[in-house]
Amino acid sequence: ETGVTQSPTHLIKTRGQQVTLRCSSQSGHNTVSWYQQALGQGPQFIFQYYREEENGRGNFPPRFSGLQFPNYSSELNVNALELDDSALYLCASSYTQGASSYEQYFGPGTRLTVT
């Protein structure tokens, strides 16, 4: 069974630039959630994708957007990067069936630094 993978592992961007982060879900999972983890904090929910649509969003501005593909993998896009966007971005996959949702398993994260 393949676990959750993320790419790249780390990257450095300049304020105002755009970035795309990628996530491959664990085998058998159909739901992907994205979280932002600032240094010394717990992860904060950004949004979730299920059936290739955004299925709920946390308190993040529209410049944070995403996609989910037919193979359940996902992308997180951030436009107009700000210094405060520097964080570890975590992807978590899970299985959803109807009204039932199961445990979320995390990838290793992408460390984004904005200068």
Identity of the residue, 14 or 95, whose beta carbon is nearer to another protein in the bound complex: 95
Tell me the chain's radius of gyration from C-alpha atoms.
Answer: 13
SS3 85: helix
CA separation, residue 94 to residues 16, 48, 102 (Å):
32, 10, 6
Least distance CB 11 / another protein (angstroms): 14
Choose among 107, 115, 114, 101: nearest CA to 9: 107
Interface with another protein in residues 26-45 (CB under 8 A):
31, 33, 35, 40-45
Tell whether residue 20 is a contact of another protein (CB under 8 A): no
Tell me whether residue 14 or residue 40 sits nearer to another protein (CB atom). Answer: 40
Q: Please count the other Cβ atoms lying within 10 Å of the Cβ belonging to residue 107.
A: 21
Given the rule CB under 8 A, which residues bind another protein?
4, 6, 31, 33, 35, 40-45, 48, 50, 55-56, 58-59, 90, 92, 94, 96, 98-101, 103-109, 111
